[in-house]
Amino acid sequence: MSGLATMDSKACGKMGVITITYYLWTTFMAVTVGIILVVSIHPGAAAQKDNYSVGKVVLSSADALLDLIRATRDVTAENRAM
């Protein structure tokens, strides 16, 4: 911090521009590498196959809500007993 305080405004501005440029460049490179990897690897493609629909159980939203209520009740019942 003391080094920044002793710098003149022109050098401080130049360092700020270099820092922002570095940040934007590394972000651009990370996004580019990520897009290339996703396009080439296709993550999750195997999970989308219909081969897994044989033993598929369909839950309604009411069943999911009741399961959540039961789980919450069971957890809080242990705490009430203490």
- 2 pLDDT above the threshold of 60: yes
Domain boundaries, the chain: 2-80
**Lowest mean pLDDT: which of 17-31, 39-53, 64-78?**
39-53
- Residues 26-42 have pLDDT tens digits of 999 999 999 999 999 98
pTM of the predicted protein model: 0.52
Complete DSSP assignment for 10-68: HHHHHHHHHHHHHHHHHHHHHHHHHHHHHHHH-TTTGGGSGGGGTT-----HHHHHHHH
Question: Do 7 and 15 form a contact (C-beta atoms < 8 A)?
Answer: yes
In terms of average pLDDT, the best of 3-12, 29-38, 72-81 is: 29-38
**Are the C-beta atoms of 4 and 12 separated by less than 8 Å?**
yes
pLDDT score recorded for residue 52: 58
Q: What is the DSSP letter of 81?
A: T
Task: State the amino acid at position 77 in one-letter form.
Answer: A
